[in-house]
Structure 1
Amino acid sequence: MEIAKLSAKDIHRWMENMKIEEAGKFIPYLLKDARNSVNKIGKDLEKKLDRHLKEKERIKKLWHYENELIRSGVRQIAGIDEAGRGPLAGPVVAAAVILPQDLFIEGIDDSKKISEPKREALFDIIQEKAIAVGIGIVENEVIDQINILNATKLAMKKAVADLKVQPEYLLIDAVKLADIHIKQYALVKGESKSISIAAASIIAKVTRDRIIRKYDEMYPQYGFAKHKGYGTKEHYESIEKYGLTGIHRKSFLKKIVGEGQNAHGLSE
């Protein structure tokens, strides 16, 4: 197709329907075109291609640990991460994700570095593309009984058990799991170093946020949809005004519990 015979509008529409690397082959012709409007399309496309190639290189680095294991003969590698260790209320949620080799998911990263709308979009992509996804949830009552670290490990074990495909190796964000007969490696800040752990961090975060939004409907005066159960000034003020709910972690709020409020905020 001859670019010189197309209008800038038609060229723009044509390029939008092409994959970025395929469209990139036409950049030299767009930049040489006599029309400024077509030159601009070429320059914009050049910037877009540069961003895309840099993103591909970033994702390639995220495959480092998985590829090392694949080269050693391991195939089914599950990345594991959790969401909700720090909040004053709600469950801790863990996810385990097995991805197909060399999968490219643009924008995937540590869930804390991604906006909520982007996390939701990536959640759907991961669910669609992953070989298997497992979820583990441990509620606040159990957290109070066994402490948050043990509850986190329990949630991770549940996530592994929930996988439809048996993993051969576990890459876990900073935690080692006992009593589980699968080889594993605890990777500090793993959600920024491993694509499988990054995927798990997104699945866990979005799953927990959706649970918390349901709690927000049950307890609208606490603002759970906004702070997700974390210890914000607004949250503490709501607890002081309304007391504790059935989803609050009493072990995280010992001082308030000690002052004689029951789970519904009524003085005993």
Structure 2
Amino acid sequence: MKTLPDFREEKSLWRRGYQIVIGVDEVGRGAFAGPVVAAAVAFGAEVGQRFFVSCNCGRGKCRAQNHLASPRLVKINDSKVLKANQRRMAAKWIKKNCLAYGVGEVGVRTINKVGIGKATEMAMRKAIASIMYKVSSIKYKKHNTYYKIHNTKSFVLIDAFYIPYIKGIQKAQQKPIKKGDQKSISIAAASIIAKVYRDSLMQKLTERYRLYQWGVNKGYGTKLHQQAIIEYGMTSLHRQQFVQTFLTKTL
């Protein structure tokens, strides 16, 4: 039986004195078209405590790792296993209840120039920079005294499927977790924010490029998308080298 992501990693770091624990994930790495997007999400310790309360899922005293006591059941999980409406509902809850979140986007021109690996890392750094800027003005309360959060008290949890470490962040302050979006709620939340953001963007772009059906395939290389490229060619939003290499190998 698969378990849902939980706050185990985050709680361990909160106990060690890290004020900000950031989960980072990306979406769009393997797409034929459109940007790669990363998101970073940080929850406060008080949210971690509230997450383990009974919910109204019909199982009595539910202790599922991320069932929320709310009028509508919200699941935080790897974005790939959630339906679109579940992701949108979860994204709203995350934005309302997290300490801060940030999004980093790197476009096709940069992807074509530096490659998807470096572009993905750039998107992650942008997302982290965004969140650190936001939390720099946040104060936390301890023993009835308010203290300002310092960047040195932050830690980054990374979904390590493609990116083992993020350059520019001390290795002692980051941890790569394989299948992290299935283990850490912060990483899973980041995957949801990134997915909802990018899907919305691709939906808007399909109005300009109807032939490629990006509203349906989100820029990924489905059979219909491949056929459209063969018939009509590539747009400026296609990842030229990646698509050419893929089609050469498969056709």
TM-score, normalized by length of structure 2?
0.76
Aligned to 1:247: 237
Deviation at 1:74, TM superposition (A): 1.1
Task: Check if 1:98 corresponds to 2:98.
Answer: no
For 2:20 and 2:245, how far apart are their aligned partners in 1?
Answer: 46
Task: Check if 1:179 corresponds to 2:149.
Answer: no
Task: Check if 1:111 corresponds to 2:41.
Answer: no
1:46-85 alignment runs, 5 A limit: 62-85=6-29
Task: Check if 1:230 corresponds to 2:220.
Answer: yes
For 1:116 and 1:68, how far apart are their aligned partners in 2?
Answer: 31
Aligned to 1:52: none
Identity %: 41
The structure with more strand, counted as a fraction of residues? 2
1:141-220 alignment runs, 5 A limit: 141-163=109-131, 164-166=134-136, 168-174=154-160, 175=163, 176-181=165-170, 183-220=173-210
For 2:245 and 2:79, how far apart are their aligned partners in 1?
Answer: 32
CA deviation digits over 1:41-61, x for unaligned, max 9? Answer: xxxxxxxxxxxxxxxxx66x6
The structure with more helix, counted as a fraction of residues? 1
Distance 1:255 1:171, change over 3 A: closer
Secondary structure at the aligned position of 1:62 is classed as coil
Distance 1:170 1:256, change over 3 A: closer
For 2:19 and 2:32, how far apart are their aligned partners in 1?
Answer: 38
Give the RMSD, CA atoms, in angstroms. Answer: 1.8
For 1:221 and 1:254, how far apart are their aligned partners in 2?
Answer: 18
- More relative contact order in 1 or in 2 (CA 8 Å, sep 6+)? 2
Secondary structure at the aligned position of 1:94 is classed as strand
For 1:247 and 1:66, how far apart are their aligned partners in 2?
Answer: 37
Question: How many residue pairs are counted as aligned between the two chains?
Answer: 200
Unaligned runs of 5+ in 2: 52-67, 69-73, 137-150
Secondary structure at the aligned position of 1:217 is classed as coil
For 1:256 and 1:100, how far apart are their aligned partners in 2?
Answer: 43
Structure 1's consecutive aligned runs of 4 or more residues displaced over 6 angstroms after TM superposition are none
Quick check: which has more Rg, 1 or 2?
Answer: 1
For 1:257 and 1:68, how far apart are their aligned partners in 2?
Answer: 46
Unaligned runs of 5+ in 1: 1-57, 259-268
For 1:155 and 1:141, how far apart are their aligned partners in 2?
Answer: 14
For 2:242 and 2:219, how far apart are their aligned partners in 1?
Answer: 12
Secondary structure at the aligned position of 1:82 is classed as strand
Distance 1:97 1:219, change over 3 A: same
CA deviation digits over 1:13-36, x for unaligned, max 9? Answer: xxxxxxxxxxxxxxxxxxxxxxxx
Distance 1:256 1:202, change over 3 A: closer
Deviation at 1:255, TM superposition (A): 4.9
Q: 1:125 is matched with which residue: 93, 100, 112?
A: 93
Deviation at 1:204, TM superposition (A): 0.4
Deviation at 1:257, TM superposition (A): 9.9
